[in-house]
Structure formats: C-alpha cells, structure tokens
Structure 1
C-alpha cells in the first residue's frame, strides 16, 4: 500500500514540476510578445490559457486522492498541502501571463523609453523569481530562494517608479493615455507575479522544513 502511495506522490511531484515549467514559459513568452509587439505569439498564449487550468485540476484531484487514500505521515502531509497552495499561485501566474498577452493584442504603437526599460527590468526580475522558486521545489535547494523577499521588494520598487513616471508623463501630455494605462496594467500584473513567486517559495520551504514565514 505504501509503495503505491509513494508512486502517486512521485507523480504529484512530477506534475507540480511540469506545471511550474509551463507557467514559467508562459510568462517568458508573454513578455517577449509584448517586447517585440508579436501579436501572433500573444494569440498563442491566449489560445492555450486553459492548459494551466487543466493542470491545476489534475494536481488538485491527485493531491486530494492522496489525502484520502492513506493516512499520510507528517512529511507527506506537508508536501501535499503545499502542493495545493502552490498550484493556486501557479494558476494565477498563468492568468496574469494571459492578461499581459491580451493587452499586447490591442496595444497602440509605442516608443521604447525609460519607462519601457524599467518595465523590462521588472519583468526579468519577476521571471527570475518564478523560475528560482520552481527550481527550489524541484531540487530541494532552499538557497535558491534566500533572496526572494528582497527581489519582491525590488519588484515593488520598480512598480512604484513606473507608476510615478506614467503619472508625470500624463501630466505633461508626453505619452498616449491608452498606452500609459496598458503599461501600468502590465506592471501591476508583474508585481502580482512577484508576489505569487514569493508565496510559492514560502510553501516550498514549508514542504521541506515544516516552517512557514506567516507562522
């Protein structure tokens, strides 16, 4: 019975890894689509939005089955409960990647200015946070997320700077209001992605150590 349970637990790990890689790729592709004004790539992301949702349902079903199948030991319970938390954050990252792609589909023409450069740096850091939190889960190496809180603070700082820049540009009529709104929305989605990446890292830590920062 335990052998069967362990095999199902391994499948859960594999599916979590696959979902993590999928959402990482989606956010990379959505930012690339925005950066290069690639509407075809943005459309592909939107058309495949349900992939992440389906994976979330599959993992949730397996996790709940494991909880009911056998009385898990403490380490099993930590992993399963962490999985249920992580997939929620992963699914939201997938949603935000799709939101960015949707904005890209209808954005007006824009010039790559200082605000754009800051947005790209913010995107790179948010993507790094997602990738490192997923890699930490896959490898069990918590050192990969040692600086995740500091990175999240930096993402928040980027958001505040971008928001202030846009407000200033709108006051001086130096930017297209529609473009400014779109950039601000993308920045907000990136800020949320950073928050979700930090959440994932905290649940990875809990699954390994039994300790959670909120406790």
Structure 2
C-alpha cells in the first residue's frame, strides 16, 4: 500500500475510534442522568464499571496519534488532525469521568425521596448530548460552522445551571434538612455544566483542524 494511502487509512481508523469513544460517552451521560431520575442504583454502578472501556479506548487513540506523528512526520493539516484528535480523546475521557461523577450522585442520594422534581438536569443533559452529536458530525465533516454553533448551546446550558444554582440555594436556606441532597443535585448540575464546556473545547479543536487557528469559544 502506498505511503499516502496507508496514512489516510490510519487517519480514518483514528476517526472511527474517536466516533466510537464519543458515542460511548454520550451513552454514559444519558444513562447516568437516567439513573439519577429513576434512582436506579444498579444502573449507576454499571456506569462506573463501564468507564474502564473509555479509558482503554483513549489509550488506544493516544498511542495511534503518537505513532503516526513519530513515523509519518506529518505537517500542516495532517498534523492538525492528529493533534486535535488526541486532544478530543482527552476531553472525551474527562467527560466519561464526569458521567461517573453523575452516577455517584445517584449512589449517594440512594432511595431518599427527591427534594424537587428533576426538570432542569434532564434539559441540561439533552443539550450536552445534542452538542456531542453535532460535534462528532462536525469532526467528521470538518465543519467549522457547526462547531461554532455548539458554543451557543453551551450558553444555554450555563443559563439553566445558573437558575438551578439559585433554586437549590433557596431550598438550602429555607430547610437545613435538605442541604445534603441539595448539594448533591448542585454537584450533578455542575458536572453537566462542565460537560458543556468540554463540548465547546472539542468544537475549538474542530475549528483548529479547519483553519489552523486557536479560538476560545468559551468567551
């Protein structure tokens, strides 16, 4: 196989690995939020175990990127694809960690009656999952416009988080007996807010692939 053709094939394998990792992260987030809403401890524990698969996949992607840079000595756009792919895998691994943190909130709350209906947390989760789907497609298509759109969605997540923070703070002030669970729910909301930030970081890497420029989309 010619060198260029072999390199393109390996780049495609890398893309497939990143898409697999992104889809797995998306699934983990959805399941973590579901475990919280339904107070499903068995599901929450399975998410913690499944995180090992994400860690293994990230290690594979990291090794491929390093090997391709070392052996192929790519430049310009090809190098940007490898650097961005590596960083995207790191962000996805951290997002997997946050899904585990979400699952642990379920475990800590256990079967205690919820102090409030969980309305905003599912909304935040839905936006994060949509951002991931847009980001994965934008990564494959190298679509700068779609990547920039993700930053606007992150702004909406931030607004929801701000509202949740205020609501939970009021609950804690009015009833000290609800402080512990309110803090857990605040942590869950914060984890989802951070997930939105990581999605925006992924969008920044897609922009970098497209035009070689580093942009802060979190501003």
By the TM > 0.5 criterion, same fold? yes
Shift, 1:208, TM fit? 2.4
SS of corresponding position for 1:213:
coil
Q: Is 2:146 the partner of 1:144?
A: yes
Normalised to the residue count of structure 2, the TM-score between the two structures is: 0.90
Normalised to the residue count of structure 1, the TM-score between the two structures is: 0.92
Distance 1:13 1:155, change over 3 A: same
1:137-196 per-position Cα deviation (integer Å, ceiling 9, x unaligned):
133344433422221111111111111111111111186222101100001100110000
Alignment partners' CA distance in 2, 1:178 and 1:214: 35
Unaligned runs of 5+ in 1: none
Alignment partners' CA distance in 1, 2:94 and 2:159: 22
Q: Is 2:167 the partner of 1:165?
A: yes
Alignment partners' CA distance in 2, 1:42 and 1:142: 35
Matches within 5 A, 1:1-215: 1-108=3-110, 109-111=112-114, 113=116, 116-173=118-175, 176-214=178-216
Deviating beyond 6 angstroms after TM superposition, the runs of 4 or more aligned structure 1 residues are none
SS of corresponding position for 1:176:
helix
RMSD: 1.9
Alignment partners' CA distance in 1, 2:191 and 2:177: 21
What is the number of equivalent residue pairs in this alignment? 214
Alignment partners' CA distance in 2, 1:9 and 1:147: 25
Moved more, 13-22 or 91-100: 13-22
Alignment partners' CA distance in 2, 1:112 and 1:179: 7
Shift, 1:112, TM fit? 6.9
Distance 1:136 1:175, change over 3 A: farther
Alignment partners' CA distance in 2, 1:7 and 1:145: 25
Alignment partners' CA distance in 2, 1:73 and 1:3: 16
Distance 1:158 1:14, change over 3 A: same
Alignment partners' CA distance in 2, 1:29 and 1:112: 21
Unaligned runs of 5+ in 2: none
